[in-house]
Amino acid sequence: MAYDKELAAAIKAASLAARLCRKVQKALLQSDVRSKHGRNKSPVTVADYGSQALVSFVLQQEFPGEFSLVAEEDSNDLRKDGGGEIVERITKLVNESLTSDGSYGVSLSSEDILKAIDCGKSEGGSQGRHWVLDPIDGTKGFVRGDQYAVALALLDRGNVVLGVLACPNLPLTSISFAHPHSPNNEVGCLFFAEVGRGTYMQPLDGSSTVKVQVSAVENPEEASFFESYEAAHSMHDLSSLIAQKLGVKAAPIRMDSQVKYGALSRGDGAIYLRFPRNGYREKIWDHAAGSIVVTEAGGVVTDAAGKQLDFSKGKYLDLDTGIIVSNQKLMPLLFDAVRASLAQKSKPQP
């Protein structure tokens, strides 16, 4: 089954959201950052809410029938005392984005915005179709002025059938592992993949689409690897042990968000390791878009037991220990190194 219309809508929604985010990041104000309630206290920005409202609105305009969105944010904090000013800013940003696009000819009220945000409360699952959105994947990177992504995917009966990663700060050319943020590089990439159709990359302005492939590196000594910037998201010491057992010589590149999946899909690196600390539960919006972008580019994405990620169980992924990503040739070696490293780490220390 082709998903051409859905893919076109997803690219449009993610592109508009990325432009909104880029605009906010450029002039990030202290008042734009609110703290999420809960243990992680990760910052949520005006752009985070604005991105979700915009994507939700665009997808509902394109598909006005049954609509299900599994997304990260809700409007609870915004509806509390003191949230009015931020809601006004979000409303202004979303309306400016819609006006610049010119497709819809509407002006949304603050209540429209809050309702659009709250459309993301679906639980997902194995029946029907569900859009899956992380409106800003990598909010801490966003606040630092670093890497982040708008990550949008579509589930059909529990399977990821398309994914879009809009990466406003990722250079269009392959990143240098010595200088991942080269100031001379033009930045702003969008990756998109549809099941059975491959993975493509284009600038955020939509010109010059190219098909991408994962790295063909077979020798681990020549491989380089990505891991999460935040130590809370991945145990760097375990990744280091795995790399050592593999014989990887390059230092890791630490980046925020699913940008790593995009960079890996075009061969910037050959391995991505993510081993969260005990108690952390992976959410589907953190991996749905990125996983299909890599697999359609010829890569492999599994948990530490070698099982494919299962997106059919609701908002959370049931994983064995962590997530490993690589090309077909390196994966067996990587899997062996992961198994040996986990066994070594689990042994009681003398």
Residues designated catalytic = 48, 139
Residue 88, H or E segment:
helix 84-101
Token digits of residue 33: 């950052």
Buried b (16+ CB within 10 A) or exposed e, 3-31: beebbebbbbbbbbbbbbbbbbbeebeee
Q: Are the CB atoms for 140 and 256 separated by under 8 Å?
A: yes
189: Cβ contacts below 8 Å, ≥ 6 apart: 166, 167, 170, 171, 172, 201, 202, 203, 204, 262
Between CA 50 and CA 12 the distance in angstroms is: 15
Could you give the 3-state DSSP secondary structure of residue 178?
coil
